[in-house]
Amino acid sequence: SRTFYARGQTGQQLLLGAYSALSRQLSKGKVCFFPRHDMLDVVVVDGKAKGVVTRNLLNGKICSHYADAVILATGGYSNVYYLSTNAMASNVTANWRAHRKGALFANPSFTQIHPTCIPVKNNFQSKLTLMSESLRNDGRVWVPKKKNDLRKPNNIPENERDYYLERIYPAFGNLVPRDVASRRTKEVCDNGQGVGKTGIAVYLDFKRVIQDKGKQYVQEKYGNLFDMYQKITDEDPYAIPMKIYPAVHYTMGGLWVDYNLMTTIPGLFSIGESNFSDHGANRLGASALMQALADGYFVVPHTITDYLSKETPSSLNKINQPAFESVVHNTKQEIEKIMNIKGTLVVDEIH
């Protein structure tokens, strides 16, 4: 195994560790924290990144932050799609603004559609929820053989169920790669075999593993995921098969970086999902966690100091006030232009 898993919450545990480390640095006064701020632009002086301009989302105030180097750790661009598993605030605007200033973008078409997400339930959802891929280790994916079958899942006998991944890929079964599982799931739903009120869902069934190994085994391995699913859907996955459907989840493309994780703008670094560097056209399970650890912990702390060591003393800690004032002025004009449109629709309505 490539990963030391923490049940179905490996990523969450890494986040808790990262938040704890940040909290310790905040308490020591070594880090300045600006929550609820949105990056509006990168400030480039003489071809090098020298800071950012942000907006306070609580009061609208525009702020300038001067720096000798800038690191973007702003996530991917899944929210260019109408719904994704990403948080609403993960809106790729930081990467776009860096690209607009000259940072090249690589592999924008490389988007991962994750097969194990809770399906859309209504037309006012803001995002989708990812269920861990680990569920397919024991869960079996199926749909009714009969099209438009409205019976409840427990009322459909085994001989009337199509375990389509096991049927199409007998050597791999439910453990086929994510992109393969997602395509096959969309195909069966497009064929009229989808389940639920919308018809855009399939079942993920744990009946066999519960019978073979017991409910306690499933609780110990997936209990937190089952609890989350029940809170969101108000359905007990121990008694009723889960409903899942593919959703946009991760983007392998991003800002182009070199082996030092620096973009084509000197002094502007990009780490984690915001860069393109590690995955190719697809992503293996937990590789995003690997990249977060590698980029943030092992690579950029050393490469950024190497970059700064090659800068002349006169160029460090030097604030080019006119450059920042120009960016702030242009940013305010852009915001004013948008505010003066006086439209009647929000962005999501015309997405």
Active site residues: 178
Residue 232 CB contacts under 8 Å (≥ 6 apart), including other chains: 118, 129
Write the DSSP string, 103-125.
Answer: --EE-TT-EEEEEEEEPP-STT-
Residue 20 CB contacts under 8 Å (≥ 6 apart), including other chains: none
Contact 140, 76 (CB under 8 A): no
Q: Is 241 helix (H, G, I), strand (E, B) or coil?
A: coil
In degrees, rounded to 5, the angle at the alpha carbon of residue 105 between the alpha carbons of residues 76 and 276 is 55
- Closest Cα to residue 91, out of 106, 75, 104? 75
* Burial class, 113, CB count within 10 angstroms (exposed 0-12 / middle 13-18 / buried 19+): buried
Q: Is 253 helix (H, G, I), strand (E, B) or coil?
A: coil
Contact 262, 277 (CB under 8 A): no
Distance of alpha carbon 108 from alpha carbon 119, whole angstroms: 25
Number of H helices, E strands in the chain: 9, 13
